[in-house]
Structure 1
């Protein structure tokens, strides 16, 4: 039987507003922010792979070849170039003097795995061939994803390691969904008020895997926790709330990276639920989490 649910941070609970997670900034709104140059491009490679729409965003005042924050979709297992959270990622990029490349992969459930993963792989390959034109440094790419996008980013790191022998500069996985086999102790606990129920996680995986969710043979490029070997990965930042249904599997992933001799930094925020800093950005815990991420990214970019 699962134990009691940890208490919710009172400030997070009082400030939480689901509106920011639902809001999707329009491109015209983003372009009106004169601090950034935002361009729609088509990522393409030789062969049968289709072109993939991407957004390329760089601080307007930046010069030279910039490091890249590469973003899959915005969370859950939905498509779209991370637009619900793009304003936040752009602020991070401005602080770091970095570019943002957001991948608009094909949508689920119309296109089940491996379509989204293949689209992200196309974007990475295209980025390396067009780096000079984009004024970015293809050797300084950090994969970054929240929720389902964290699973996609983690699977992409494995795919780059196995298929191309490439190692991004780092990967930042925020409350990622690493395992389609939902059923941990945290998933069995009732969700606190205002927090997504465990069933949401199961539905999200069924959305991208169809009837294969939880079955034998699901590839690690879809669910990174399925990987038998977690060695050779880039430095990894893992973050999750103590009340998040994903907590146990995220902690397990960090432990497995360490066991494989890898570099992982794990933060479990007491009193926090899934998406807490997007739902309550003004809360002290949210501000602390965002400052901690920024510090890690600075260290990774300097190291690169």
Structure 2
């Protein structure tokens, strides 16, 4: 497929790389299945995401009895409602384990504590981890700082209750996808600023980091893939309102704005080459490295946002998932 050129966003012209040929049918299916994100379509998109990833059946969170599934109502941020945590623990308890603290995706506007968590069930079923997945309040009903403060509150409760949960408190791995990746990065910055808890690794899967739309990739997709520049405008505006792109945005909401990235944990980041977040991810990874942080960065040629879930059969998807899982396994064993 030839390179594509798009004109019109902020009067600028951009060119994108081609999609991997194995991914094209999935990209077309997503476009056909989901309408553009807007105030009118948001309820339908929320419902679709609640029903799971298209083409994937329901995930057995118990892994045929090997995983204990629990939900807890825990204190939210000061003055805010309680939040719900989904807790997955090995049924065969073998002592304290690392914790995978999971923050779901959904563009800041959709998803819940079960969205995407099935990806991490095998680590629990094998006895190698406890997974805690946080339910944070969604924009636009609950704009910044509600989502990131909810995520931090859940992490704080998890760390303070590590013994009860069977978690080794010094082995907290924070993981997030898309908006969840941005919130994971923001929560990690908050934990550093507030000096608790200490996070050992952050795994930022195609994270949403920058509200400013200054990069080439933030402008290069219009009406293509499940998350184009128009969806991105909607997501960031829902979170930040009129502050989007202006000077008064916190780095905990948009981590690309953080001036100091020193002292952060070892980091895994990935992206497709054909997605709006690509350039902000590459820049953040380089800045982390410049600040002395160990970074594993992977860009998958021809991949669009969420390609590994939408087209798991494709060679590039299998390579992406295997690489990420290997990093997580090493992090659990550190």
Using the size of structure 1 for normalisation, the TM-score is 0.90
Q: Give, in angstroms, the shift of residue 190 of structure 1.
A: 3.5
- 1:155–1:222 Cα contact (<8 Å) kept: yes
The 1:7/1:66 distance shift into structure 2, 3 A limit, reads same
Matched, 1:302 2:333: yes
The verdict on how the C-alpha distance between 1:276 and 1:121 changes in structure 2, with shifts beyond 3 A counting, is same
Structure 1 segment 1-304 matched on structure 2, within 5 A:
2=13, 4-16=15-27, 17-18=29-30, 22=49, 24=51, 30=61, 33-44=64-75, 48-94=79-125, 97-191=128-222, 193-303=224-334
User: Does structure 1 retain, via aligned residues, the 8 Å contact 2:90–2:127?
Assistant: no
Q: CA shift at 1:169, angstroms?
A: 0.9
Q: Return the offset for 1:38.
A: 0.8
Contact kept? 2:228, 2:275, Cα under 8 Å = no
Change (3 A) 1:227 1:46: closer
Q: What value does the CA root-mean-square deviation take over the aligned residues?
A: 2.6
Name the CA distance, whole Å, in 1 between partners of 2:253 and 2:137.
15
Residues in 2 aligned to 1:186 and 1:193: alpha-carbon distance in whole angstroms? 13
Q: Which moved more, 1:25-34 or 1:65-74?
A: 25-34
Give how far 1:42 is off: 1.5
Alpha-carbon offset, residue 22 of structure 1: 3.1
Identify unmatched segments of 5+ residues in structure 1: none
Which range is displaced more, 220-229 or 290-299?
Answer: 290-299
Alpha-carbon distance in structure 1 between the residues aligned to 2:280 and 2:269: 11
- Figure out how many residues of one structure are paired with residues of the other and give that number: 303
Which of 282-291 and 30-39 deviates more? 30-39
- Which consecutive residues of structure 2, in runs of 5 or more, have no partner in the other structure? 1-11, 35-47
Moved more, 41-50 or 233-242: 41-50
Residue in 1 aligned with 2:4?
none
Please say if residues 175 and 204 of structure 2, whose CA atoms lie closer than 8 Å, have aligned partners that are also in contact. Answer: yes
- Distance change >3 Å, CA 244–CA 96, structure 1 → 2: farther
Q: Which moved more, 1:97-106 or 1:160-169?
A: 160-169
Q: Which moved more, 1:123-132 or 1:39-48?
A: 39-48
